[in-house]
Amino acid sequence: MKCDICGIRDAVFFIQQVSENTANELHLCRECAEEKGLAGRGNQLRLSLAGLLTDIIQDGLPSVAEKCSVCGITLADIKKNKCVGCAACYQKFRSEIIAIMDKEELPHSYSGTRPQLLAGFRSILSERENLKRELSQAVAREDYETAAQLRDRLHCMTGGTDDAQS
Amino acid sequence: MPSPDVIPRSWFAANGENSDVAVSSRVRLARNLADFVFPRFLTQEDAERVHALVYDACTAKKGNSFRFTASAGIEQVMRSLLAERGIISPEDAADPRCGVILNDTGSVSCILNSGDHVRISSFLAGFDMSSCAKLAFELDETMQKRIQFAADGEFGYLTSSFKDVGSGLKASVILHLPALSITGMLDRVIRNLMSAGFAVSGFYNTKDGNTLGAFFQISTINSGTGSAEEQLSTFSDAVMRVISTERASLHELAVVKPTVLADMAYRAWAIAQNARFISLKESVEIISRLKLGVNAGILPIEHDRLYPLLYTVKNAYIQIRLSDPSDVLSQQIESDVSDDEQKNNRMRALLIQQAIAAGQG
């Protein structure tokens, strides 16, 4: 069985978390277990399974990081320069951007045409955001098998680095 | 010296609508590709992918003859020329991620990865917003057949700056307002434009902040209200009111102060015809007064001869002319004119005299 974190090495740690009605398992190789503080450091074994995936989904939580997970721009930077770093910023910081525009007396009541969606077009940027959201939800409901699959898809999409394009 | 075919030929030499008062019109559309972060965070590799995708989309339509040059491949003097013509800023020209796509006459251009991935600009002599906008929207439409631009149901087209969100459109015009300036009505006209939500600035400013030749640029400030058509219409109405006011002021001046008007025109005429050296600053003032004289029916010069000089008396264009040994005017420069600044000023005088001679009715 492969490690749920790296997906490459064989799993040697099998962790089961039992809650009131469900039991979830996580399978880890030694390297990933050590990296997560689960091997050789008994005092950290109280860590929740959700915590193991926190770093993967951290960028998808705007309230925590206040940073766009696609381009890496901070909300502070956006507020200072009145510019965003990518189209996804408008989704992530929608209410904050509207507040900035209102403060600057910049209208946002455009009623004209939008570009037509090209047949078969799928935005890599929005797809990535959707996957992160699904990953976050999977972790929240402690569905680690799905979370690991989503993580692998994200990994492939970003070419091996979660900070691609930043 | 840059290859002559790289130099955009003269869209500004055409005789446009309302060209008694309007020098030129411009429409700019800001667009971004949906699958790339905006240029500020773009890697060189992705910037080059944007170049390829946009250029392919521009040239996909049969009959479109666009030329692409990456900023790194633009020679210094050409960068200055493109900056003089409002096509690309010196900062963008120095950024290796930027590029420029131009048509034969420079009337339609597209700057890549400058703030936004795509900034389409169209230029027309005179003032005719709908024809000018048509040029930009045609290229936009051609691109949209192959490129997915970033947009949002609420905001419209998504751009780097909040000012451009919505239509991505910025409209601007350069107006020549000497009569309003002389009659003292200019301040009120500018205040009205600014309170209506437009930006107004001097087009030729000296270092001490003075505006030369009564040339002013009026432009829209943001793109987030109504539709692009409504934005253009509102802007067009406001500009046409200014043009009408300038015409009325000139008519009044011609009746009330004909001698003052004639003195201004003939003084400029005398210098333009006889001076051997004319600086850039003096050139702008002379072109302004000659045009005032033509509009008032005092000077016998064809309408479309003067405003193009505003582009050709600038430094980069002068440098290109001087560096070409086969250039007819360059060959006329006397052997005793050896200083670089004198050569520049001599070339300006020759260009102005050539335009006047060719344009005398």
Is the pLDDT at A63 greater than 50? The verdict is no
Average pLDDT, chain B: 92
Is the pLDDT at A31 greater than 80? The verdict is no
Residue among A84, A100, A110 whose CB faces B160 most closely: A84
Q: Report d(CA B58, CA B54) in Å as an integer.
A: 6
Range with top average pLDDT, A63-67, B237-241, B300-304: B237-241
Is the pLDDT at B97 greater than 70? The verdict is yes
Residue B220 touches partner A, C-beta closer than 8 Å: no
Which residue in A79, A101, A102, A110 has the most chain B C-beta atoms within 10 A of its own C-beta, making it the best mutation to test that interface? A110
Where residue A158 falls among pLDDT bands split at 50, 70, 90? low
- A59-63, B256-260, B316-320: which range is least confident on average? A59-63
Residue among A87, A116, A118 whose CB faces B158 most closely: A87
B9: left (phi over 0), alpha (psi -120 to 50) or beta: beta
Torsion over CA: B110, B114, B115, B118 (sign): positive
Report chain A's terminal Cα–Cα distance, integer Å.
34
Is the pLDDT at B222 greater than 50? The verdict is yes
Give chain B's largest Cα–Cα span.
67
Is the pLDDT at B7 greater than 70? The verdict is no
Q: Are B332 and B340 in contact (CB under 8 A)?
A: no
Considering only CB atoms, which chain A residues are within 8 Å of B49? none
Is the pLDDT at A44 greater than 90? The verdict is no
- Percent of chain B at pLDDT > 90 equals 79
Going by C-alpha positions, the residue among A116, A129, A135, A134 that lies closest to residue A88 is A129
Chain A residue closest to B32 (CA)? A87
- A48-57, B155-164, B278-287, B298-307: which range is least confident on average? A48-57
Residues comprising chain B, all counted: 361
Residue B222 touches partner A, C-beta closer than 8 Å: yes
Going by C-alpha positions, the residue among B145, B142, B149 that lies closest to residue B165 is B149
Residues 96-125 of A with CB under 8 A from B: 97, 100-101, 104, 106-118, 121, 123-125
Q: Where do we find the tokens 């936009």?
A: B140
Is the pLDDT at B361 greater than 90? The verdict is no
Residue among A72, A110, A165 whose CB faces B156 most closely: A110
Phi, then psi, of B225 in degrees rounded to 5:
-115, 135
B40, A70: Cβ pair inside 8 Å? no
pLDDT value at residue A59: 46
B167, A101: Cβ pair inside 8 Å? no
Q: Which residues contact B270 (CB under 8 A, 6 or more apart)?
A: none
What average pLDDT score do residues B87-101 get? Answer: 92
What DSSP assignment string belongs to A106-130? ---EE-S--PPPPTT---HHHHHHH
